[in-house]
Structure 1
Amino acid sequence: MTIEVSAGGGIKWYSFNEGLLIAKKQNKFMLVDFYTDWCGWCKKMDAETYKNSEIVDYITKNFIAVKLNPEKDSAVDFQGKNYPAAQFAQAAGVNGYPATGFFDYNGDFLGTLPGYMDSGKFMNLLKYIVNKEYEKEQK
């Protein structure tokens, strides 16, 4: 089930379970926005970073976007196991909000970065993931 579609050609957001299936099927990275309803910086990122037209276009082309609220969402199916959303977020390294997690097309966890990011910093991060710079650092 798609949980949100922004008007005017914005980012199409999915639930985690649906997003993971689509990412594998479309051979795209998955971006997970870990957020809460009370988080002011989450709202700022939604209103500014995720509304930036270059960010919207880049995410749409290269990622499946997921929103996950660990305080409200019930469960996440990952690598054959079912996790409470809060436990999954903690295992993904989320210790504050917002946080942005990334998974590759195989569903392998790449990492999570904490905090608000403006459009420029966020675009650099997105390109880092798409260009697989993380693989170069591991060698």
Structure 2
Amino acid sequence: MKNLVLTFLLTVITVGSVAAQEINWVTLEEALELQKKEPKKIMIDMYTVWCGPCKMLDKNTFQNKEVAAYVNENFYAVKFNAEGNDVVSFQGKEFTNPSYDPAKASRRNSSHQLSRYFQVNAYPTIVYLDENADLIAPIKGYQTPTQIELYLKMFANNDYKTLTTQDAFNEYYLAFKPEFKG
């Protein structure tokens, strides 16, 4: 009987975890290595530990199964604490947070050099890089699944390359038909 209950619980846990699609987060260095083997764009979630909208983005958007499946298929996803203390090597440079204060680890801290490099001045900001790790765009603010879908598809499909004016983007935006639910 004990084995039957254990088997049932393991089945429920396994089925539940299969149903909940999760984004495969990697470090920036891992994403850059993966790009060498299979070129994909990189999506970097630049968050902070104290940011409420960042937590909403995690819960409401990144946990959405359609968002997660699309991101996993088309991007290498990186989660980066924009006020953290990580040392990051990127494009031949080392980025740190020289003013980081460990006493402020759970609240506002100084900005990481990589955050400034990517022009991040609000949280959350999602930074998109192309297959060569060149900056496409930093997109500021909380986004629902249907809002982020526009950017995910625009960048994954290279549509952004033809949107050279604000009018062209506005036309693209108005014509876009979201498919993600949520």
Normalising by structure 1, what TM-score? 0.89
- Cα-to-partner distance string for 1:23-70 (whole Å, 9 max, x where unaligned): 332111100000011100000000010011110110011000000002
Larger gyration radius, structure 1 or structure 2: 2
User: Is residue 50 of structure 2 the alignment partner of residue 38 of structure 1?
Assistant: yes
SS at match of 2:163: helix
**Counterpart Cα distance in 2 of 1:24 and 1:93:** 25
* Structure 1 runs (4+) greater than 3 angstroms displaced: none
Task: State the alpha-carbon separation in 1 of the partners of residues 29 and 93 from structure 2.
Answer: 12
Q: Establish whether residue 100 from structure 1 lines up as the match of residue 112 from structure 2.
A: no
1:138 Cα offset (Å) = 3.9
* In the alignment, structure 1 residue 75 sits paired with structure 2 residue 87: yes
Structure 1, gaps ≥5 residues long:
1-6
If asked which structure has higher relative contact order (CA below 8 Å, sep 6+), I would say 1
- TM-score by length of structure 2 reads 0.69
- The two structures, once aligned, show a CA RMSD in angstroms of 1.6
In structure 1, C-alpha distance between the alignment counterparts of 2:128 and 2:140, rounded to whole Å: 12
What is the aligned partner in structure 1 of residue 40 from structure 2?
Answer: 28
Instruction: Give the aligned partner of residue 13 of structure 1.
Output: 25
SS at match of 1:82: strand
Q: 1:111 aligns with which of 129, 137, 145?
A: 137
Aligned to 1:65: 77
Which residue in the other structure is 1:135 paired with?
Answer: 161
Q: Give the letter for the 2:82 counterpart.
A: P
Check whether the contact 2:21–2:64 (CA below 8 A) recurs between aligned residues: no
The corresponding residue for 2:5 is none
Indicate the residue corresponding to 1:4 in structure 2: none
| Post-superposition offset of 1:17 | 1.3
Percent of residue pairs identical: 35
Deviation at 1:22, TM superposition (A): 1.2
Q: What secondary structure, in the 3-state scheme, does the structure 2 residue paired with 1:37 have? A: coil
Amino acid at match of 1:44: M
Taking the aligned partners of 2:80 and 2:23, their CA distance within structure 1 comes to 15
Q: Tell me, in whole angstroms, the C-alpha distance in 1 between the residues paired with 2:51 and 2:95.
A: 23
Deviates more, 1:43-52 or 1:14-23: 14-23
- Post-superposition Cα deviations, 1:66-104, rounded to whole Å, max 9, x if no partner, equal 000022242221111111261111121100110000111
* In structure 2, C-alpha distance between the alignment counterparts of 1:49 and 1:20, rounded to whole Å: 24
Any conservation in 2 of the 1:30–1:66 contact (CA below 8 Å)?
yes
Aligned residues: 133
Name the one with the larger helix percent. Answer: 2
The unaligned stretches of length 5 or more in structure 2 are: 1-16, 98-111, 166-182
